[in-house]
Chains A and B, each alone.
Chain A
């Protein structure tokens, strides 16, 4: 318990070293750590790894004499690298407070990682543009709620694209930037959807090999993105996620595939907060009218098993405090803007992020959320190969067979290479 550790003598007192993954939340974590130290006297260090440098930082830091006591993995695949360092959290408060066991990663009966932030993605859209479209002569739909499947989405998008002058936009979809820093939106997030349906068909949650049953649908949605966008398909490799964000933010495109975290980036420009909405990504599967948004987590906390025992204890105490204290909850929900999977967070701790609200609405409507199965993708190599094939297909230097190969055969070989 907390009281114990804080009453310990200075020598025996543990300390916390949190290697934070998200640069965006660097300041909030530091403030929180300071607050905790002020309250309990336990030292909490927060170090934030630079974007793209988490793995290398973690690898270096964890081998040092004073390693992080708290770090994070991005899912089952990430866990497999670090499982030797993960403390069994079965008895911890953070695990006990989870709304569902689904949010923990377990192996051999041990709880090795606990998710702390739930995120959702889909097709962000500009309600204002869509509204204006609906009022146009001969619009395919009359209200946004009518988009419930791929056909409708396709019809709307193509019609918007052809009438973009009238609407004062540059494309239906924001550019599908395939720059290597932002191609994850497609090679992982978009690819998650066909993967989900395949898993659903098979009734599994991970696989040593995939069949690629829904790859045609994948192609359809990808074509839709490419052909009805603000830029030529041949130019997407020069576009970044930021480009897409600013296109959307400046009102130049109506649809933009991204998640709740994108709110920061798009708010405050041309699009008013109340005009930001999110649609499910439809790819033309039977019964997709019931499909909701894609919800899951890529952020799991792990406690370093190899840290000193008192440090482990201090870390567990700190985590407990974060999810139970007012300061912690306030910070996590409001300042960092996370939707958390903990029971301790009630209604009042919902972030004021229109995208989060949209996500909640879908849940309340009873739509089926899609899980984040891309965390089971066999390796980064697989993602990279898929991304490369998608890009080549887009710019016309490669055909769809390559995408298939990368998806299906790549999966098998990468899965094998992992062992």
Chain B
């Protein structure tokens, strides 16, 4: 017993050490962003890797100035609204849709599935103007409307992911629910959804990241006269002649990724192991 535990501990130790090293290397680029967010801009280009010391250290000045320059908090509000709204809508609608097309198999659902796949393949350049035109003529150029655009544009990936994972849910469990008197919506919400939770969380994370960081789509679709998201706002730190205020940029980047990291960490614990275990024989 001891030897097994010992070897296990050794293995764990090795794992820890190895992954810690890799992690540090992995984080380096992000570290650079953080470090430089405390530097004065002229020094960032010259000495990107040095720690902010002495004359190039400006403390939180970049953060303060950046927040002011781009109207960070307003942009943050819209970003939050759009991201939360769109991701919720996507998760809800596409998981339902994916369930539908993987349980009702016919020509139409299969066709729709492949359309979803296609939508991921299409280069954005091909649809960007037509998308902005369509959204505009339907009056979707506001934060509420853009959630619908995101749903439509993000449906491909989400449906694809959900449909893929739907296969590992044993059918018998859903049948049991039907017998217990569940209507399809109840079966879905009370049984399928909880079992798919890890997938939900994963898809949620991926979509959140996409929407939170997305620049082009909101630029094209949103009514810029009224609304700005963080990525749109951050763009103003780039000057007309290709010069970029890296100090403010880095600071704003740090602020922009913080919420997503927090969100991710919070979601981690829902990615639990083997939810369907013990449910069926076979």
Using CB atoms and an 8 Å cutoff, list the residues of chain A in contact with chain B: 17, 21-24, 26, 45, 47-48, 50-53, 56-57, 59-61, 63-66, 181-182, 184, 240-243, 245-247, 249-250, 261-262, 265, 269
Contact = CB atoms under 8 A, between A and B. Distances in A.
Contacts of B42: 245-246, 249-250, 269
A60 B240 contact: no
B46 A51 contact: no
B238 A50 contact: yes
Q: Closest 10 A-B residue pairs measured CB to CB?
A: A50-B235, A51-B238, A181-B242, A246-B42, A64-B136, A45-B225, A60-B132, A22-B240, A47-B224, A60-B220
Contacts of B128: 56, 60
B246 interface: yes
B45 A243 contact: yes
Contacts of A240: 45, 242-243
Give chain B's interface secondary structure class: helix
B136 A51 contact: no
B43 interface: yes
Contacts of B88: none
Nearest to A182: B242
B270 interface: no
B219 interface: yes
Given A45-B225, A60-B220, A242 B244 contact: yes
Interface in B15-43: 41-43
Interface string B205-240: 000000000011001100111000000100111111
A208 B111 CA distance: 51
20 contacts: A47-B225, A50-B238, A51-B238, A51-B239, A53-B219, A56-B128, A56-B220, A57-B224, A60-B132, A63-B132, A64-B132, A64-B136, A64-B141, A65-B136, A242-B246, A246-B46, A247-B46, A250-B46, A262-B241, A265-B243
A184 B242 contact: yes
Contacts of A261: 240-241
B49 interface: no
Contact of B242 (A26, A59, A63, A241): A241
A308 B123 CA distance: 34
Nearest to A261: B241
A266 to B, nearest CB: 9
Contacts of A250: 42, 46
Contacts of A66: 223
Nearest to B130: A63
Contact of A23 (B132, B215, B240): B240
A64 B219 CA distance: 13
B40 to A, nearest CB: 9
A242 B243 contact: yes
Nearest to A25: B240
Contact of B243 (A47, A56, A61, A245): A245
A51 B235 contact: yes
A26 B133 contact: no
B150 to A, nearest CB: 17
B242 A23 contact: no
B224 A64 contact: no
Given A60-B128, A64-B133, A50 B232 contact: yes
Contact of A63 (B43, B133, B225, B235): B133
B65 to A, nearest CB: 13
Interface of B: 41-43, 45-46, 128-129, 132-133, 136-137, 141, 215-216, 219-220, 223-225, 232, 235-244, 246
A186 to B, nearest CB: 12
Contacts of A47: 224-225
A245 B215 CA distance: 28
Contacts of B235: 23, 50-51, 53
A57 B45 contact: no
A241 B241 contact: yes
Nearest to B136: A64
Contacts of A26: 236
Nearest to B228: A47
Nearest to B234: A50
A51 B136 CA distance: 23
Nearest to B47: A246
B238 A23 contact: yes
A22 B238 CA distance: 10
B74 to A, nearest CB: 13
B83 to A, nearest CB: 20
Given A50-B219, A50-B235, A250-B42, A60 B129 contact: yes
A261 B216 CA distance: 28
Given A22-B239, A51-B244, A60-B133, 11 more contacts: A23-B237, A50-B232, A51-B240, A56-B216, A60-B128, A60-B132, A61-B224, A182-B241, A182-B242, A184-B241, A250-B46
Nearest to B246: A242
Contacts of A57: 219-220, 224
A24 B237 CA distance: 8
Contacts of B41: 242
Contacts of B224: 47, 57, 61
A4 B128 CA distance: 40
A21 B240 CA distance: 7
A323 to B, nearest CB: 21
A246 B242 contact: no
Contact of A59 (B129, B137, B236): B129
Contacts of A64: 132-133, 136, 141
B136 A50 contact: no
Nearest to A65: B136
B129 A63 contact: yes
A48 to B, nearest CB: 6
Contact of A246 (B43, B141, B225): B43
Contacts of B45: 240, 242-243, 246
Contacts of B220: 56-57, 60
B133 A23 contact: no
A321 B244 CA distance: 32
B132 A51 contact: no
Given A56-B128, A246-B42, A17 B239 contact: no
